[in-house]
Amino acid sequence: MTTSVQWLRRVGPLIESLLAGLIGLVIGAFIMLAFGYDPLAAYLSLFSGSFGSVYSWAESLANATPLILTALTFAIAMRGGLFNIGAEGQLYMGALAAVAVSLIHLPSPLNIIVSLIAAMVAGMIWSLPVALLKLGRGVHEVISTIMFNWISHFFAFYLIANVLTDPKRGEKTISIVESARLGRILPTASLNYGLVIALITVAFILFFLWRTSAGFELRASGYNAEASHYAGISLRKQVMRTFLIGGAIAGLAGAVQVMGRPPTYAVMSGMPQLVNLGFDGIGVAMIGRNHPVGIVVAAIFFGGLMVGGRIMQFDPGVPFELVRVIEGVIIVTLAVPELRRIFSVARRKLSGGG
């Protein structure tokens, strides 16, 4: 009896996600039928474009790489009882720090390592004021992270236009030097060794949260802050730890994106290769139930939607706007189970139940 209950607990979230995804596909099909498009042909082109060939798999994994990291930023905060939506700004700072530090022109392996570390430090520095405002003045992290996202947005524009500008091409920063670029795993696709870095980070966070005393304290404080305080866990330390680790991972996401994605290996004016990766990571974390392993699966699925969505426009001729609506419906329905759990926990805390 006990074994069957444990099995249901493990398989239950997977069944919920599959049902939610099926509901999203059905809703998307009705939307396409309402506008006169064939949903079967559209979904076939979507999934064949996402996972139907080695190239499409490589592109889906390339799109998933930064999302794995930004989703981890949000997930580790949720495990600690915080709502960090500042990955967007932190990854901007990480990307620009990687560009700047790469210009030191160190030998190849060392230049890559130093650029990645610089990006992580930049992300940590950008998350530090949020933690200090939370601890010193009680400013809610949602408000402060939104503010710092906008500050980093325009600060990044300033750096691109005035400090790190490529003298030959004013629409971008100086390109990452070759000794600091991440090699491609597949020569014909944009998939690069940033994926390996992301998976190593997943393994680290998995080990940290469930195999270390510090990770246990972080999860305990997120589950029940009052009980954790009485047990001798420093809540101030957990807030600082959560934001600094999350900032480092978000900065790493920015570095991986700019150091590994051809053809420019630079941050473009308007930052098209960076914008919304932090916010998309929130959706990925929700779909993955804020668990590192679930995040990897969700990010690959999300990355596949990004690749396959473009194919839907060419083969069945579904308009771009409708493709985005259908993708949004699928993502929202997949995120509903985790959203329901979060709202349940919040309601319990507000009612005084811990």
> What distance in Å separates the CA atoms of residue 304 and residue 40, rounded to the nearest whole number?
17
The answer to whether the beta carbons of residues 175 and 181 sit under 8 Å apart is no
This prediction has a pTM of 0.93
Q: Which two tokens stand for residue 18?
A: 């599959």
Q: Name which of 119, 112, 118 is nearest 92 in CA terms.
A: 119
- The stretches of 166-276 forming alpha helices (DSSP H) are 194-211, 213-223, 225-230, 235-260
Q: How many CB atoms lie within 10 A of CB 180?
A: 28
> What distance in Å separates the CA atoms of residue 77 and residue 132, rounded to the nearest whole number?
15
Q: Quick one: fold of 54-348? A: ABC transporter involved in vitamin B12 uptake, BtuC (1.10.3470)
What single-letter amino acid sits at 286?
Answer: M
The answer to whether the beta carbons of residues 329 and 238 sit under 8 Å apart is no
> What distance in Å separates the CA atoms of residue 277 and residue 62, rounded to the nearest whole number?
13
Phi, psi of 184 (to 5 degrees): -80, 140
List per-residue pLDDT tens for the chain, 354 residues long. 456 555 556 666 778 888 888 999 999 999 999 999 999 999 999 999 899 999 999 999 999 999 999 999 999 999 999 999 999 999 999 999 999 999 888 898 899 999 999 999 999 999 999 999 999 999 999 999 999 999 999 999 999 999 999 998 888 999 999 999 999 999 888 999 999 999 999 999 999 999 999 999 999 999 888 889 888 999 999 999 999 999 999 999 999 999 998 888 999 988 999 999 999 999 999 999 999 999 999 999 999 999 998 888 887 788 988 998 998 999 889 888 887 877 776 676 666 544
Phi, psi of 265 (to 5 degrees): 50, 45
Q: Where are the domains of the chain?
A: 54-348
Q: Name which of 222, 282, 235 is nearest 79 in CA terms.
A: 222
Work out whether the CA dihedral 111, 173, 310, 334 comes out positive or negative.
Answer: positive
